[in-house]
Amino acid sequence: MAAHSHTPANPHTHANPHTHDGIDWSNRLTTFRRADELDAENRRVVARRLVRPLPETPTVVDVGSGAGGMAVALVEALAARGGGTVVLVDAVPELLDAATTAARAAAAYEPKPVHVRPVLADVATERVLDLVGPVDLVWAARVVHHLPDERAAVASLVDALASDGWLALGEGGLEPQFLPWDLGVGEPGLPHRLMAARAEWFVRMKQDIQGVVPLPVGWNVVLTDAGLLDVTAFSYLNDQPAPASSLVKEWAVEQLRWLAEVGADRLHPADRRTVARLLDPDDTAYVGARDDVYLLSASTIHLGRKP
Ligand SMILES: C[S@@+](CC[C@H](N)C(=O)[O-])C[C@H]1O[C@@H](n2cnc3c(N)ncnc32)[C@H](O)[C@@H]1O
């Protein structure tokens, strides 16, 4: 697929043919928007931290920008220190449109100019440097693990950095927890069985990526091998205890539906029946109306500086 600047509002309706993992990403837009909203304050803090060491009016790129939550945070962080440019790169037109609209809306509120440039591209087949030129910060969260050759993908991200530029790779952490162990319906322990089914799905999803190259090391090793200095990592919590906001409950319904979908053929029929009750708005066990739903997750950011 050829990369090009992309004008938002492109009416694609088909399942996405441009990524490598068989996931219909455009279908996930509402969920990503909710997750962005729930994580907005954390992302603001992270964005401010990441732009601090950058030169004046820097260029930063958000690779795999999803619904644009971090792009918005980066726009705000750049505006607070005099402006700059945020380039959004994504392979899915619907998501790129949404992220661009969100980032431009945030930029419009800022007194200092922050330019927002969307680029539609598959970063597994196109060099990020060719797409965006040398940049001061590459942010890539939860996208590299969807690419066939993760080491090659990281090398391409590092190539796109100017000297002294930073790579911030959002990968790993702790999967979100949101349900009590005993839900009062079905066998206790359903959250663990859902996570186990999801973990099996993830292995299968990775194995099914065409041309997949194993990555038998952790991200710090990948960043160091890619030639980065000062390699380190930090994690932040998203901790929203019960009784949670209606946004957390809506997110929990979506998350449970998604876990049940990806784990469907690995869950016991009795657990599938329990999930159906938990997802039924007319059932007393409905997750969207429970006061014991919460959100607890951790996200890890791996960092390295180009010499
Ligand atoms: C799990 S979402 C992560 C979104 C966002 N970075 C976040 O952390 O919330 C993965 C994103 O990467 C994009 N993506 C997947 N494969 C891609 C590829 N080969 N090239 C560019 N973008 C890709 C998807 O369209 C989606 O926006």
CB neighbour list of residue 216: distance below 8 Å, 6 or more residues apart: none
CB 178 within 8 A of CB 243: no
Dihedral-angle region of residue 303 (phi above 0 means left; psi in -120 to 50 means alpha; beta otherwise): beta
Q: Residue 65 C-alpha to ligand 1 middle, in angstroms?
A: 6
Query: Which range of residues forms the domain containing residue 240?
Result: 4-305
- Decide which of 200 and 23 is more confident: 200
- pLDDT band at residue 8 under the 50/70/90 scheme: very low
- Decide which of 210 and 297 is more confident: 297
Nearest protein CA to atom 14 of ligand 1, as residue: 64
Q: What are phi and psi of 90, to 5 degrees?
A: -155, 155
Q: How deeply is 282 buried, as exposed, middle or buried, from its count of CB atoms within 10 A (0-12, 13-18, 19+)?
A: exposed
Distance CA(211)–CA(71), nearest Å, equals 30
Q: What is the pLDDT of residues 39-60, one digit of tens each?
A: 999 999 999 999 999 999 999 9
pLDDT for res 9: 29
Radius of gyration in angstroms for the set of CA atoms belonging to the chain, rounded to a whole number:
20
Nearest ligand 1 atom, CA 95: 27
Q: Residue 292 C-alpha to ligand 1 middle, in angstroms?
A: 31
Query: Does ligand 1 lie within 6 Å of residue 144's CB atom?
Result: no
> 48-72 burial string, b = 16+ CB within 10 Å, else e?
bebbeebeebbbbbbbbbbbbbbbb
Distance CA(99)–CA(119), nearest Å, equals 11
Residue 5 has pLDDT above 50, yes or no: no
Query: Does ligand 1 lie within 6 Å of residue 88's CB atom?
Result: no
Residue of 143, 169, 175, 255 to mutate, ligand 1, most atoms within 8 A of C-beta = 143
pLDDT for res 18: 66
Dihedral-angle region of residue 59 (phi above 0 means left; psi in -120 to 50 means alpha; beta otherwise): beta
Question: How large a percentage of the chain has pLDDT more than 90?
Answer: 87
Interior angle at CA 191, CA 264 and CA 194, nearest 5: 20
Q: What is the pLDDT of residues 102-118, one digit of tens each?
A: 999 999 998 889 999 99
Residue of 146, 212, 301 to mutate, ligand 1, most atoms within 8 A of C-beta = 146
pLDDT for res 220: 98
Q: Coil, helix or strand for 305?
A: strand
Q: Residue 118 C-alpha to ligand 1 middle, in angstroms?
A: 14
**Amino acid type, 62:** D
For residues 48-77, give the mean pLDDT.
98
CB 168 within 8 A of CB 303: yes
Q: Which has the closest alpha carbon to 64: 2, 141, 127?
A: 141
Residue 15 has pLDDT above 90, yes or no: no
pLDDT for res 61: 98
For the chain, the farthest-separated pair of C-alpha atoms sits apart, in whole angstroms, at 59
Mean pLDDT of the chain: 92
Query: Does ligand 1 lie within 6 Å of residue 127's CB atom?
Result: no
Q: Coil, helix or strand for 32?
A: helix
Nearest ligand 1 atom, CA 92: 25
Q: Residue 140 C-alpha to ligand 1 middle, in angstroms?
A: 8
Q: Residue 276 C-alpha to ligand 1 middle, in angstroms?
A: 29
Interior angle at CA 141, CA 92 and CA 156, nearest 5: 80
Residue 198 has pLDDT above 70, yes or no: yes
Whether the link from the prior residue into 243 is cis, omega within 30° of 0, is yes
Q: What is the pLDDT of residues 20-40, one digit of tens each?
A: 877 788 888 988 999 999 999
Asked which of 8-12, 121-125, 187-191, 263-267 is least confident by mean pLDDT, the reply is 8-12
CB 159 within 8 A of CB 129: yes
Q: Residue 282 C-alpha to ligand 1 middle, in angstroms?
A: 35
Distance CA(89)–CA(4), nearest Å, equals 10
Residue 11 has pLDDT above 50, yes or no: no
For residues 59-70, give the mean pLDDT.
98
* CATH number of the domain enclosing 79: 3.40.50.150
CB 27 within 8 A of CB 67: no
Nearest protein CA to atom 10 of ligand 1, as residue: 143
Q: Which has the closest alpha carbon to 60: 128, 123, 132, 138?
A: 138
Q: Residue 155 C-alpha to ligand 1 middle, in angstroms?
A: 17
pLDDT for res 17: 57
Q: What is the pTM of this model?
A: 0.92
pLDDT for res 14: 37
For the chain, the domain total comes to: 1
pLDDT for res 16: 53
